[in-house]
């Protein structure tokens, strides 16, 4: 593989440009192409983002010089596009969720392991250095036996009934919305940091806006742009705005998570509190450079993101000294550093340090059990 790894990005809504910006901060990667639903839109976006080549998806797959493809399209396209990329003998980084059906994700995991190609799912929130620090502190016994987990992921970009996005449509986002979209991040981090496996779930959903005003003109995620009333069509909504899920873990401990996309003032707030036999950790993604460490026998501690205070496994994810705050955009850069090291080696490593298609399948299984539990209003085993 030549020194410079060539990448293509499929889909240029909210997250596609975030992938692009992160890749442009890596020395050995060049984003040479992007794909969109029409050649005209692809040309327009490529010009706007300064990317030399623009294609429809199928045409991009024929470009032999492209080594890696980032799938940043709506959920319902992930399975077919990830499969086509692997079959075109290219490495793939797919946005979460990996697919909308478990059997699709199972097939992708099989194909990926058969090809040996690098495969990753963009659970980028694992790459806040403080999240890796919590995991490493737990592994080194600084948390002690996990007693309980309390988590939430709160947003307000779908707060109004005029806020609309493809994620509200099950044929595009899958049966679950808030759990699939943001719950997957929180549940992934819960198992990643604690090292525990969720064994049972009890879920309760609510849809605050039973109908929403769907704009008859396209507007993008987080845009919150307002149109005139004639530009809207009232549509029924049957995906969850809010969900609370009780959790049981394989060490017998318990927990709960709440996700909401209608929590006013909460912009993109993942908060997790993990209580253990020696300490208690609390992390908030809107204040990602701090960790609260609770103590019984002495004063609590506030750990700041500073490489000199971190375990080496976690300081590897830090690019700036203490007090030089890093945030959401840096998480994708740090993840891609690890994924592209694997790409440069030419194959998927034995024990990847990054979230893989198998991680994506795990979140899809948990997500589907949560949807089933809400329907049955009963505990469901994972
Ligand atoms: C919208 O809820 C969204 O962009 C999610 O799709 C991302 O995964 C999350 O990181 C930020 O919010």
- pLDDT tens for the chain, residues 1 to 382: 557 999 999 999 999 999 999 999 999 999 999 999 999 999 999 999 999 999 999 999 999 999 999 999 999 999 999 999 999 999 999 999 999 999 999 999 999 999 999 999 999 999 999 999 999 999 999 999 999 999 999 999 999 999 999 999 999 999 999 999 999 999 999 999 999 999 999 999 999 999 999 988 766 556 555 567 788 899 999 999 999 999 999 999 999 999 999 999 999 999 999 999 999 999 999 999 999 999 999 999 999 999 999 999 999 999 999 999 999 999 999 999 999 999 999 999 999 999 999 999 999 999 999 999 999 999 999 9
Q: Which of 268, 328, 330, 355 to mutate to test the pocket of ligand 1 (most atoms within 8 A of CB)?
A: 268
Mutate to test the pocket of ligand 1, among 14, 19, 179, 262 (most ligand atoms within 8 A of CB): 14
Q: How far lies 378's CA from each of 168, 218, 316, 364, in Å? A: 25, 39, 42, 19
Three-state DSSP state, 162: coil
Pairwise CA distance, residues 103 & 364, whole Å: 10
d(Cα 55, Cα 66) in Å, to the nearest integer? 12
CA gap 123, 67 in Å, rounded: 21
Show the ligand 1 pocket: residues with CB < 6 angstroms. Answer: 14-15, 155, 181-182, 185, 221, 268
Cα 48 to its chain centre, rounded Å, is 25
Q: How far is the CA of 183 from the centre of ligand 1 (A)?
A: 10
Distance of CA 121 to the CA centre of its chain: 7
Closest ligand 1 atom, residue 185 Cα: 8
pLDDT single digits (tens) 76-109: 999 999 999 999 999 999 999 999 999 999 999 9
Q: What pLDDT is recorded for position 215?
A: 87
Instruction: Give 166's Cβ-side CA count (13 Å radius).
Output: 15
The pLDDT assigned to 230 comes to: 81
Distance of CA 363 from the midpoint of ligand 1 (Å) = 15
Q: Give every CB contact of residue 122 below 8 A, 6+ residues apart in sequence.
A: 15, 19, 93, 94, 95, 96, 332, 335, 355
Considering just the CA atoms, what is the radius of gyration of the chain in Å?
Answer: 21
User: Residue 224: its pLDDT value, please?
Assistant: 55
Plot region of 227 (φ>0 → left; ψ -120 to 50 → alpha; else → beta): beta
- The first and second tokens of residue 329, run together, are 């955009």
pLDDT tens digit sequence for 143-197: 999 999 999 999 999 999 999 999 999 999 999 999 999 999 999 999 999 999 9
- Provide the edge-to-edge strand list for the sheet that holds 119-121: 53-55, 29-35, 5-10, 68-71, 91-94, 119-121
How far does the centroid of ligand 1 lie from the alpha carbon of residue 75, in Å? 12
pLDDT value at residue 216: 84
Closest-CA residue to 91 (of 67, 110, 115): 67
In angstroms, what CA-CA distances link 73 with 120, 236, 368? Answer: 15, 24, 21
Q: Is the peptide bond before 305 cis (omega within 30 degrees of 0)?
A: no
Cα–ligand 1 centroid distance for 217 (angstroms): 22
**What atom of ligand 1 comes closest to residue 181's alpha carbon?**
6
Q: What is the mean pLDDT of the chain?
A: 96
Which residue's C-alpha comes closest to atom 6 of ligand 1? 181
Atom of ligand 1 nearest to the CA of 122: 8
Instruction: Please give the distance, rounded to the nearest whole angstrom, from the Cα atom of residue 376 to the centre of ligand 1.
Output: 28
Q: How far apart are the first and last CA of the chain?
A: 41
CA of 236 to the centre of ligand 1 (A): 23
pTM of the predicted protein model = 0.96
The Å distance, Cα 182 to ligand 1 centre, comes to 6
Centre of ligand 1 to C-alpha 86, Å, is: 25
């Amino acid at each position: 593989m030549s020194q410079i790894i060539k990448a293509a990005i499929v889909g240029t809504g909210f997250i596609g440009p975030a992938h692009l910006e992160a890749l442009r901060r890596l020395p050995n990667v060049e984003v040479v192409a992007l794909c969109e639903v029409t050649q005209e839109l692809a040309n327009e976006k490529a010009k706007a983002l300064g990317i030399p080549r623009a294609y429809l998806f199928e045409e991009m797959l024929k470009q032999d010089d492209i080594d890696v493809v980032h799938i940043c399209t709506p959920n319902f396209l992930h399975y077919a596009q990830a499969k086509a990329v692997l079959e075109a003998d290219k490495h793939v980084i797919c946005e979460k969720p990996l697919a909308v059906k478990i059997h699709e994700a199972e097939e992708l995991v099989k194909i990926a392991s058969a090809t040996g190609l690098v495969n990753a799912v963009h659970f980028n929130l694992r790459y806040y250095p403080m999240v890796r620090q919590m995991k490493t502190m737990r592994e080194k016994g600084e948390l002690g036996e996990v007693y309980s987990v309390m988590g939430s992921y709160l947003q307000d970009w779908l707060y109004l009934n005029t806020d609309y996005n493809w994620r509200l449509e099950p044929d595009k986002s899958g049966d679950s919305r808030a759990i699939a979209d943001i719950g997957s991040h929180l549940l992934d981090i819960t198992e990643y940091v604690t090292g525990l496996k969720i064994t049972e779930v009890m879920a309760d959903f609510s849809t605050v806006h039973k109908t929403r005003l769907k704009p008859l003109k396209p507007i993008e995620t987080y845009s919150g742009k307002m149109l005139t009333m004639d530009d809207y069509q009232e549509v029924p909504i049957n995906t969850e705005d809010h969900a609370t899920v009780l959790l049981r873990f394989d060490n017998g401990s318990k927990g709960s998570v709440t996700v909401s996309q209608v929590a006013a003032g909460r912009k993109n707030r993942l908060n997790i509190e993990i209580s253990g036999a020696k300490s208690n950790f609390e992390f908030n993604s809107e204040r990602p450079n701090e960790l609260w460490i609770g103590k019984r026998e002495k004063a609590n501690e506030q750990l700041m993101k500073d490489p000199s205070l971190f375990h080496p496994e976690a300081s590897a994810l830090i690019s700036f000294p203490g007090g030089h705050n890093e945030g959401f955009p840096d998480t994708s850069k740090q993840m891609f550093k690890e994924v592209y090291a694997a790409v440069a080696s030419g194959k998927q490593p034995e024990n990847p340090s990054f979230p893989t298609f198998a991680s994506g399948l795990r979140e899809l299984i948990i997500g589907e059990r949560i949807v089933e539990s809400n329907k049955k209003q009963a505990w469901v085993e994972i």
